[in-house]
Chains A and B, each alone.
Chain A
Amino acid sequence: MLEIRNLKVVFETDRGVVKAVNGIDLTLERGKILGLVGESGSGKSMTLLSILRLVPYPGKIVEGEILFEGEDLLKKSASQMREIRGKDIAMIFQDPMTTLNPVFPVGEQIRESLRVHNIIKPEKEGILGFLGERDRRKKEYEKAVELMEKVGISYPEKRYFSYPHQFSGGMQQRAIIAIALSCNPKLLLADEPTTALDVTIQAQILDLLRQINEVNGTSIIFVTHDLAVAAEFCDEIAVMYAGQMVEKGPVDKVIGEPKHPYTKGLLKSIPKITRKKEKLYAIPGNVPDLASLSPKGCPFYERCEEAVEECKEVELPLIEVSDGEFVRCIKYL
């Protein structure tokens, strides 16, 4: 249902052109959950925002195709794109505390998405539309309350009129999910939806997302920097580093038998309760500065423990190592 080909997003800054997303290829089938994993600044969020064509200024999509149900989103007009946003493709954000507009009641914000996509049709078209307005509002209110109930907000009729600051973080994220679900989207983009929440709430939100995936058949792209969460939640995993895909494949392959040194490093740095008194592993070095990154060779070269001299020079494609499993590393050439 979604296919991204050779997507490139650049930011033109004073210090030069930053390639935030540098040639990403992705496919997502209907009803699947794809995990997009990587450190901060690896281009995960930009990839998601590109799908909705909401890359913030001064960034822009310079190359590639984003095929959604066979049609290239990058060729759509602004108004066609607006209709797709929220209706066919919905997005939820990392920090629920800042995602809801603080000056409008939560329920009204859910009702707004029903309204902008005309989910409850007005009885009369055109200038006579206002005649059925009260009735339409009432139906929208009922639908919004139903959505709130569905995502697990208790006393929805009362909470409808609450303001975002009167909700806890977990409740806010539920309300945001209710907004995302309001038009029954085919694809849900989830940008670290649990990062800002504490662990018990995290599990509840993940359960809710899985339920949506199973019941509605909604495909999900789940961005996270937490491999453990991704392993538990996703069907497929794609690991990103410095705007590139370094490894992708079915979850058991990527987690079970990681191929790329970066993926191995990420997996090793997950703390385990069983290993006591051991120093926690960390990948040496820092995420490279995208503005000063050498255009040639492997971007992970500087930090890689298995690097060889050629890594500095070689331009690598994604190499298929087994069925559906790809890796971008010289060792598998």
Chain B
Amino acid sequence: MREAKVLKRVLYTIPIMLAIAITVFVFMRFTPGDPVDIMMGKESMVSQQDIELLKKEFNLDKPIYTQLYIFLTNLLKGDLGKSITKGVPVIELIRETLPATIELALAALTLGILIGIPIGIISAVKQNSWLDRTMMAISFTGISMPSFWLGLILILIFSAKLNLLPSQGRINFLIYIPKVTGFYTIDSLLAGDWEAFVSSLRHLFLPALTLSAPLAAVLARVMRSSMLEVLRNDYVVFARAKGVPEKLVILKHAVRNALIPTVTVLGMEVGALLGGNMIVENVFGWPGIGRLVVTAIFDRDYPLVQGVVMFYAFTFVMANLLVDILYTYLDPKIEL
């Protein structure tokens, strides 16, 4: 039964993806400038003929609706097209940069959960204490601080002043590790190269912390408020009246219930994590998808932008589906 429902939900995502595809296509064409013009603009040696030829190769000479048709039919075949500026298939570029982005996102997600949820629980249990007030003040700062600024401040403190952590890249450029998974932390462990592992962790820390800050802050606040609500419930008093130790009352009875709204927010925050990585990757010179797409936008590299955005959308939709499935385990009252 559950499998059938999951399949149904997956099928629902098709029209959503289609709408996103059309939107991103149209918006890219609205942006002033043309990829070929931008590419050729600085080179006066290019002849009009070459430009025509290039435009023809990427179908830019055809009317917009034909271009849209070509884009959509290729998309259905699973073909994201070829990057105009790099001349390589988009899927290739995504495959190349994806591990870096996933590694960073997973690290940020883990940090966000590990920081945010305990803070929320402690804040709720110690409601209105100085500890609660301090942590909520910090989390408010975390929400309001733009990540490019936080990233720069962290670089300024930990890299420039204290010289503790590197500020750019994924690993010390003198170190070579054989590529297996594309996650440098895992690959270095697989290669048994301890030095590389430490180096990749040190490179990962600052960008992951920057990316996780807004996530941790939101999770802390949501967890706190849902804990406060749960703690007022009869079943919490009843658990105490049963003689359940206070620690278990909080960590078992209350937290399990308070996680339900928190997981919803977590699902939505995965989207924010994707958006945030474009900025963070650029600040920290992290060679991931975020940096790829920002460059592509500046170059008006239509196929590349479209491809990456489609990929983002797919990830986002899947994350939400995953949350919905997770839900059914957390809350027995909910069915898919």
The reply to whether B333 and A93 form a contact with Cβ atoms under 8 Å apart is no
The prevalent SS among residues of B at the interface is helix
In whole Å, how far is B335's beta carbon from the nearest beta carbon of chain A?
12
Chain A residues lying within 8 Å of B253, measured Cβ to Cβ, are: 101
Q: Are B238 and A116 in contact (CB under 8 A)?
A: no
A103–B256 touching, CB < 8 Å? yes
Closest Cβ neighbor of B248 among chain A residues: A116
Q: Is A148 an interface residue (CB 8 A)?
A: no
Please name the residue on chain B nearest to A95 by beta carbon. B234
Chain A residues whose C-beta falls within 8 Å of the C-beta of B244 in the assembled complex: 86, 112-113, 116
Flag the segment in A77-85, A270-278, A314-322 that touches B.
Answer: A77-85
Residues in chain B near residue A49, CB distance under 8 A: 237
Does any Cβ of A come within 8 Å of B257's Cβ? yes
- The answer to whether B229 has its CB under 8 Å from any CB of chain A is no
A116 to B244 Cα, complex, angstroms: 6
Q: Decide if B243 touches A103 in the complex (CB within 8 Å).
A: no
CB-CB < 8 A to A83: which residues of B? 243
Contact B257 A103 (CB under 8 A): yes
Chain B residue with minimal CB distance to A87?
B243
**Among the listed B241, B243, B257, which residue makes an inter-chain contact with A102, where contact means beta carbons less than 8 Å apart?**
B257
- The verdict on A216 contacting chain B, using a C-beta distance below 8 Å, is no
A131 lies within 8 A of chain B by Cβ: no
> B333 touching A116 by the CB < 8 A rule?
no
| CB <8 Å contact, A116 and B242 | yes
Among A54, A82, A85, A101, contact of B257 (Cβ-Cβ < 8 Å):
A101
- A85–B244 Cα distance when bound, in Å, is 8
Q: 3 tightest A-B contacts by CB?
A: A86-B243, A85-B243, A86-B242
The answer, yes or no, to whether B330 is at the interface (CB within 8 Å) is yes
B331 touching A103 by the CB < 8 A rule?
yes
Please state if A54 and B243 are interface contacts (CB–CB under 8 Å). no
Determine the distance from Cα of A52 to Cα of B239 in the docked complex, in whole angstroms.
Answer: 12
B237 contact set on A, CB distance < 8 A? 49, 54, 56, 93
Q: List 6 A-B contacts (CB under 8 A).
A: A54-B240, A85-B242, A86-B243, A87-B243, A93-B237, A179-B242
A163 touches B332 (CB 8 A): yes
What does the 1/0 interface line of A57-82 toward B look like (CB < 8 Å)?
A: 00000000000000000000000001
CB A20 to nearest CB in B, in angstroms, measures: 16
Collect the chain B residues with CB atoms within 8 Å of residue A5's CB.
none
Q: Are B234 and A117 in contact (CB under 8 A)?
A: no
**Is there a chain A Cβ closer than 8 Å to B149's Cβ?**
no
| Residues on the A chain within 8 Å of B330, using CB | 103
CB distance from B129 to the nearest CB of A (A): 12
Mask, B292-336, CB within 8 Å of A = 1, is: 000000000000000000000000000000000000001111000
Closest Cβ–Cβ distance, residue A188 to chain B (whole Å): 11
Partner of A117, one of B233, B239, B240, B243: B243
Query: Interface size class for chain B?
Result: 20 to 34
At the interface, yes or no: B245 with Cβ under 8 Å from chain A? yes
One digit per residue, 1 when the CB lies within 8 angstroms of any chain B CB and 0 when it does not, for chain A 94-134 equals 01001111111000000011001100000000000000000
A90 within 8 A of B: yes
Cα of A108 to Cα of B242 in the assembled complex, Å: 13
B216-246 vs A: 1/0 string, CB under 8 Å? 0000000000000000011101111111111
Question: With an 8 A cutoff between CB atoms, is A210 at the interface?
Answer: no
Assess whether A165 is interfacial by the CB under 8 Å rule.
Answer: yes
A99 near B332: Cβ-Cβ < 8 Å: no
Q: How far is the CB of B230 from chain A (nearest CB, A)?
A: 10
A112 CA to B260 CA, complexed, in Å = 22
User: In the assembly, what is the distance between CA of A116 and CA of B243, in Å?
Assistant: 7
CA–CA, A100 and B331, complex, Å: 14
Say if the beta carbon of A91 comes within 8 Å of chain B: yes
What is the bound-complex CA distance between A111 and B233, given in angstroms? 21
Q: What's the least CB distance linking A120 to chain B, in Å? A: 15
A85 to B239, CA, bound (A): 10
Q: How far is the CB of A13 from chain B (nearest CB, A)?
A: 15
Bound-state CA distance A91–B239 (Å) is: 10
Instruction: Tell me if B235 and A112 are in contact (CB < 8 A).
Output: no
Report yes or no: A99 in contact with B238, Cβ–Cβ below 8 A.
Answer: yes
Q: Which of A84, A98, A113, A165 contacts B235 (CB 8 A)?
A: A98
Report Cα–Cα, A104/B248, bound state, in Å. Answer: 14
Q: Which residues of chain B from 228 to 278 have any CB-CB distance to chain A below 8 Å in the complex? A: 233-235, 237-246, 248, 253, 256-257, 260
Interface string of A158-183 (1 = CB under 8 A from B): 00000101000000000010010001
Which A residues are in CB contact (< 8 Å) with B256?
101, 103-104
B243 touches A101 (CB 8 A): no
Q: Give the complex CA separation of A163 and B246 in angstroms.
A: 23
The interface residues of chain B lying within 8 Å CB-to-CB of A104 are 256
Given contacts A103-B330, A103-B331, A165-B332, contact A113 B238 (CB under 8 A): no
Residue in B237, B243, B246 with the greatest tally of chain A CB atoms within 10 Å: B243
- The answer for the CA separation of A113 and B245 in the assembled complex, in Å, is 11
Q: A55: shortest Cβ distance to chain B, in Å? A: 10
Cα(A84)–Cα(B242), bound, Å: 9
CB B91 to nearest CB in A, in angstroms, measures 42
